[in-house]
């Protein structure tokens, strides 16, 4: 397995996509101490201070259809959340689709990007930003109210190398399970670790906005929201949990 380590980089996802397009093997990892142009979902940026987090991307080449790519994201969220609970001892939860939160504030963001042709996946890059040893006061004003770190919530610094190794191990196990027909057990774990299911949510898309009760997630990773008009399937967009 190849691990590319950079003290500094634009975005580990961009680098991983470049390597993937160039034919790197599955399981290639790109990790950096800091990112100048870390990217988040929905065209947002990602705060990536030097040496304080795990900013990394993994290249996978799953043997399934592009329609099933969200399996990778769900699997990654479950794997990371398990490690946070077990190793850091922080009782975090998963917010649909793939944020990891503690008391409403974000500890981890996951950005999955895919390249596919026809009905086959060329590669999937799973990018993870894990706020490990960031001090509360270091967060910039815009995200201070919505982001947090393992240090801030547990009061303890975490050895990032050990933590990264634990995450990679958990990811590998989960990925193996997904490939051998065990996705339903990942989905069950996702359900039990979810903080979205059973809550009233607001769904905000580019051209719509509605509220309802988040009742389940389906095999494609879509969130099922029960509204007065019936059950709606949320495939993308922003979902916020009502207080
Ligand atoms: C989000 O919650 O919006 C997703 C954030 C994903 C951030 C990670 S950090 C490593 C990888 N490289 C990037 O540019 N983004 C992801």
Residues 215/199, Cβ–Cβ less than 8 Å: no
Tens digit of each residue's pLDDT (9 = 90 or more) over 59-107: 999 998 898 888 999 999 999 999 999 999 999 999 998 899 999 999 9
How many structural domains compose the chain?
A: 2
Using alpha carbons, list the distances in angstroms from residue 20 to 36, 39, 40, 58. 21, 18, 20, 10
Q: Do residue 120 and residue 229 come from a single domain? A: no
Q: What's the pLDDT score for residue 236?
A: 79
Q: Is the shortest distance between the CB of 54 and ligand 1 below 6 Å?
A: no
Last residue of a domain, one of 193, 208, 226: 193
Quick check: 220 pLDDT over 90?
Answer: no
Q: Is the shortest distance between the CB of 110 and ligand 1 below 6 Å?
A: yes
Q: Do residue 39 and residue 99 come from a single domain? A: yes
Give residue 205's pLDDT band: very low, low, confident or very high (50, 70, 90): confident
Give residue 1's pLDDT band: very low, low, confident or very high (50, 70, 90): confident
Q: Is the shortest distance between the CB of 124 and ligand 1 below 6 Å?
A: no
- Using a 10 angstrom Cβ sphere, with 0-12 exposed, 13-18 middle and 19 or more buried, the burial of residue 42 is exposed
Q: Do residue 227 and residue 158 come from a single domain? A: no
Quick check: 233 pLDDT over 80?
Answer: yes
Last residue of a domain, one of 172, 193, 214: 193
Tens digit of each residue's pLDDT (9 = 90 or more) over 176-197: 999 999 999 999 999 999 999 9
What angle (nearest 5°) sits at the alpha carbon of residue 51, between those of residues 109 and 73?
20
Tracing tokens 């590998």 back to the chain, one arrives at 172
Q: Do residue 232 and residue 147 come from a single domain? A: no
- Rounded percentage of the chain residues whose pLDDT exceeds 70: 100
Residues 20/115, Cβ–Cβ less than 8 Å: yes
Ligand 1 mutation pick, 34, 40, 73, 100, max ligand atoms within 8 A of CB: 40
**Lowest-confidence range among 5-9, 78-82, 234-238?**
234-238
Q: What's the pLDDT score for residue 43?
A: 83
Last residue of a domain, one of 193, 210, 227: 193
Q: Do residue 107 and residue 225 come from a single domain? A: no
Task: Tell which residue, 169, 147, 168, has the closest CA to residue 52.
Answer: 147
Quick check: 237 pLDDT over 80?
Answer: no
Q: What's the pLDDT score for residue 97?
A: 86
Neighbours of 70 (CB within 10 A): 22
Q: Which domain holds residue 27?
A: 3-193
Q: Do residue 186 and residue 121 come from a single domain? A: yes
Quick check: 32 pLDDT over 80?
Answer: yes
- CATH for 214: 2.30.30.100
Q: Is the shortest distance between the CB of 93 and ligand 1 below 6 Å?
A: no
Q: What's the pLDDT score for residue 30?
A: 98
**Lowest-confidence range among 111-115, 226-230, 239-243?**
239-243
Tracing tokens 């040496």 back to the chain, one arrives at 51
Q: Which atom of ligand 1 is nearest to the CA of 38?
A: 14
Q: Do residue 34 and residue 70 come from a single domain? A: yes
What angle (nearest 5°) sits at the alpha carbon of residue 152, between those of residues 133 and 96?
90
Q: Which atom of ligand 1 is nearest to the CA of 12?
A: 12
Q: Do residue 223 and residue 114 come from a single domain? A: no
Q: Do residue 142 and residue 30 come from a single domain? A: yes
- Cα 143 to ligand 1 centre (Å): 14
Ligand 1 mutation pick, 55, 97, 147, max ligand atoms within 8 A of CB: 55
Q: Do residue 72 and residue 140 come from a single domain? A: yes
- CATH for 51: 3.30.930.10
Quick check: 243 pLDDT over 90?
Answer: no
Q: Do residue 95 and residue 182 come from a single domain? A: yes
- Cα 146 to ligand 1 centre (Å): 15
Across all residues in the chain, what is the average pLDDT? 95
Quick check: 18 pLDDT over 80?
Answer: yes
Quick check: 231 pLDDT over 90?
Answer: yes
Dump the DSSP string for 69-83: THHHHHHHHHHHHHH
SS3 141: helix
Which residues face 210 on adjacent strands? 203
């Amino acid at each position: 397995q190849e691990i590319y380590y950079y003290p500094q980089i634009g975005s580990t996802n961009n680098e991983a996509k470049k390597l993937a397009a160039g034919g790197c093997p599955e399981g290639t990892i790109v990790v950096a101490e800091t990112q100048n142009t870390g990217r988040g979902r929905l065209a947002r940026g990602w705060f990536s201070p030097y040496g304080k987090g795990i900013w990394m991307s993994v290249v996978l080449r799953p043997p399934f259809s592009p329609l099933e790519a969200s399996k990778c994201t769900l699997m990654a969220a479950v794997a990371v959340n398990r490690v946070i609970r077990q190793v850091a001892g922080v009782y975090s939860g998963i917010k649909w689709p793939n944020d990891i939160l503690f008391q409403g504030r974000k500890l981890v963001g996951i950005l999955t990007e895919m390249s596919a042709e026809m009905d086959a996946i060329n590669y999937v890059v799973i990018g993870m930003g894990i706020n490990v040893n960031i001090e509360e006061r270091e967060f910039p004003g815009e995200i201070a109210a919505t982001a947090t770190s393992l240090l801030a919530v547990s009061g303890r610094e975490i050895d990032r190398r050990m933590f990264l190794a634990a995450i990679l191990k958990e990811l590998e196990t989960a990925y193996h399970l997904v490939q051998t027909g065990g996705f339903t057990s990942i989905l069950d774990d996702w359900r039990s670790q979810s903080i979205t299911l059973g809550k009233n949510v607001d769904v905000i898309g580019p051209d719509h906005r509605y509220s309802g009760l988040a009742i389940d997630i389906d095999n494609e990773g879509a969130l099922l929201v029960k509204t007065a008009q019936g059950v709606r399937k949320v495939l993308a967009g922003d979902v916020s949990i009502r207080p």
